[in-house]
Amino acid sequence: MNWGSPEFVIAIIAVSYGAWIINNWIRAKHGYELEDEWGGKTKPKDTGEIKQLRAENAELVGLLKDQGKRMETLERIVTDKGYRLNEEIEALRDLPDATSNNSGVPLNISKKETA
């Protein structure tokens, strides 16, 4: 292979330009600044759609943060000892009372036995 042949030099130039084009295509796809032939930078155009998407994204991030704060508050309430104590008291109120006449044999005091 002759390293000084015109075909080899043209192949090197073609590969270099191909790599530059692929590099700029990837950068443009992901929104980065583009390079021109002399090393300068070109910023992508900021269209109205991008501004609208950024505003919507900021709004959704704010809502997500608010939901996170609400979840933290609910977790703190549920894991709070006073809340658990209140639930235990309410559960005890639902149990049948052991001192009432509902447990054991009923007393028929109103009936008089005649024997």
- What is the residue extent of each domain of the chain? 1-44, 45-94
Q: How far apart are CA 113 and CA 115, in angstroms?
A: 6
pLDDT at 78: 77
Q: What is the three-class DSSP state of 42?
A: strand
Please tell me which residue, 34 or 26, carries the higher pLDDT value: 26
Is the separation of the CB atoms in 28 and 44 below 8 Å? yes
Question: For 34, which DSSP code?
Answer: E
- pLDDT by residue (tens digit) across 41-86? 776 666 677 788 889 999 999 999 999 999 998 888 777 777 777 7
Region of residue 114 (phi > 0: left; psi between -120 and 50: alpha; otherwise: beta): beta
